[in-house]
Structure 1
Amino acid sequence: MGKGEDLENIYHLYFNDLYRYVYSLGKQKHLTEDIVQETFYRAHIYLDSYSGEKIKPWLFKVAYHTFIDWMRKEKRMSYYDTNKLESHMEKEVQNKSAEYEFLVKQEIDDWFEALETLKVTKRNAVLLRDYFHFSYDEIADVMGISQTKTKVTIYRGRQELKKLRLKRDGEELGKRDGL
């Protein structure tokens, strides 16, 4: 199998996950498209130097570094768009009620909305662990930090998300009770 064929298979296998990941970092459709395109371009260039580790974490690492390069180039931190990610998880809907589906989608949207408030490093670590189910070693490799720092970053990110959820739930309860 040639280099082009390998990259084509990689593209078909991981494009959707990579697109969702990059979109979750930047929240801009045009930015996501550019970074995903640049990621596969860089993957094509460096495919010969690929050392045989798992391809998905390697590809996410390339995407993360491409995103960081873009951030440095732009020298700004307000790169969010108010658009929400349309669909975060594909689920079978045959046995699910419409109400259940709505609640699940709302919960996912709320989680991603809260995730947007975290700093990029915490958001990236929590996203890779809780959404894409990367191991701590894989996340440390993608982010270029130690495994210990990875665990601390994920813990702190989750704590911030928990505080946001408690605050939001308290505000909703107060509105319902007329406070």
Structure 2
Amino acid sequence: MIKKQKFDEIYYEYKDMVYRYVFVRTGDSETAYEIGQEVFAKYYENMMEIQDDMVAPWLILCAKHKIVDCWRKQRRFKETSYEAYVLERELISDNGLEKIVESAAQREFILKLLSELKEKNEGWYEVVEAVCIFEMPQEEAAQYLGISVPVLRARLSRARKFLRKKHGNDYYREL
């Protein structure tokens, strides 16, 4: 029963991410849904071997392979466009794979940082979200948050100091 509960948690947490990933690359909602189901079926078979911190990258990688399989099947029946060919080559390349895995890991790390920050101090979280995530200019962010620019800068500085103390300089690549 524990395996099913864990699967349900993972499914509801990542199903939208997998669907969006596939839909953006295929442009077809039915295909995205079908591939998503195949990805999660494969995950269910292998879930005990996958580390918790590698679930998102594993799902994306599996989705990438399913997309390539889908394109190969389609190619047997019709000519593919040049754009699809280029996208397939990019997905197949090791460099493309590294980018996908790195991007998924980066998102996970950013979510972890933001969660820790929100738990520590809501004000710091709001400032970091506005300035670093939404990339608002500091003046605009201060106005949006209803605080002065010096207060915004102080909160941003304290938030970064907290993250640096907790994670070293790793967080600088992310926020």
TM-score using structure 2 length: 0.46
Question: Which structure has the highest helix share of the two?
Answer: 2
Q: Which has the higher contact order (CA 8 A, sep 6+)?
A: 1
